Structure 1
Amino acid sequence: MVETAATSLRPRRSLHALPTPAILFVLTGLLLIGASPAYQHDDGTFGDAMEAAMHRMHRDMQVPSSGSVDRDFAAMMIPHHRAAVEMAELQLRYGADQRLRRLAQGIIVEQKQEIAVMEEVLAALPSGPLQGRESNAGGGTDLK
């Protein structure tokens, strides 16, 4: 580069002395999380509530096999959907971004509807193992 009067006045820095964008991003995130009282892991905060919701979900999804793919699927997905509803409610309580708040509202409505469908199907399913397509030992998905 040809040095001009304008460039010679600029302070010279080594590229190695400048923090990378990734480091700046991580440091900024840590500062924001540390400065946000709603995200600290104290009793009744967002972080604790999310952690509790995920713990409940993982615990409740551990169902013994009934021998019925349909029954097991619904039995595991209901706690998964309930956790999604709980997490979306936490977003509404603690979050500020309007796009995420609208998404959370949609999640609440849709997941509750899907829970109702799965509960209805569970109630109607026979309790015995391996009915119909479930007996297909090939394992693949036959969506015909």
Structure 2
Amino acid sequence: MILRFFRPGIGAALLGARVLFAVVLSPVALAQEAHQPAPTAQSAEESAFLAENDAAMTKMMNDMAAKPSGDIDRDFVAMMTPHHQGAIDMAVIELRYGKNERLRRIAQEIIVEQRQEIDAMKLAIGEPVTDTTPAQTQQPGATPGAAATIHDHMHMHHDMMKQETK
């Protein structure tokens, strides 16, 4: 009876999710490794993109390993907030380096929507929402178009969230 060694709760759920994740991704990762083309030389920009993206993913995964508090709702928010923040961080990186205008627009939407979800979850458990200072999305010397759009959306959202809490 393996199940009796696990107590029901967030820890068991996390363990189960990790095991399922590993089982599902292992064959996919192995299949992709076998079919990847020979590595090509990376540009400095691509190297910077990959390094920033790897750092964002590592931070997200580390931050999602929240210690259970005994409050399922707070634990959910504690794990989902870094998950959503990871999406924001990766979208910001796309805005810094990406060239495809469609993907850049999607990245802008991800930033706004994920921030809204983080704020909604925090409000649901009585925590204050965070400041919506825009992230640096442009490389030095670049034109500020995308950053200005995100900045405007974030402030509009922040004002709406403040009104909801009154």
Identify the TM-score tier after normalising by the shorter chain: 0.5 to 0.7
Identify which of 73, 86, 89 aligns with 1:86: 89
Identify which of 50, 59, 66 aligns with 2:69: 66
**In 2, distance between residues paired with 1:113 and 1:35?**
35
Offset of 1:99 from its aligned partner?
A: 1.7
Offset of 1:57 from its aligned partner?
A: 1.0
**In 2, distance between residues paired with 1:68 and 1:109?**
28
**What does residue 26 of structure 1 align with?**
37
Residue 63 of structure 1 aligns to a residue whose secondary structure is coil
1:98 is aligned to 2:78: no
Identify which of 96, 116, 122 aligns with 1:113: 116
1:38 is aligned to 2:45: yes
**What TM-score comes out, normalization by structure 2 length?**
0.51
Identity among equivalent pairs (%): 46
Offset of 1:65 from its aligned partner?
A: 1.2
Structure 2 CA distance for partners of 1:109 and 1:51, relative to 1, 3 Å? same
Larger Rg: 1
**AA in 2 matched with 1:91:** E
Q: Give 1 or 2: higher helix fraction.
A: 2
Tell me the matched-pair count: 94
Offset of 1:105 from its aligned partner?
A: 0.7
**In 2, distance between residues paired with 1:102 and 1:77?**
23
**AA in 1 matched with 2:37:** V
Offset of 1:110 from its aligned partner?
A: 0.2
**What does residue 18 of structure 2 align with?**
none
Offset of 1:63 from its aligned partner?
A: 1.1
**AA in 1 matched with 2:72:** V
Residue 54 of structure 2 aligns to a residue whose secondary structure is helix
**In 1, distance between residues paired with 2:65 and 2:102?**
33
**In 1, distance between residues paired with 2:100 and 2:110?**
15
**What TM-score comes out, normalization by structure 1 length?**
0.58
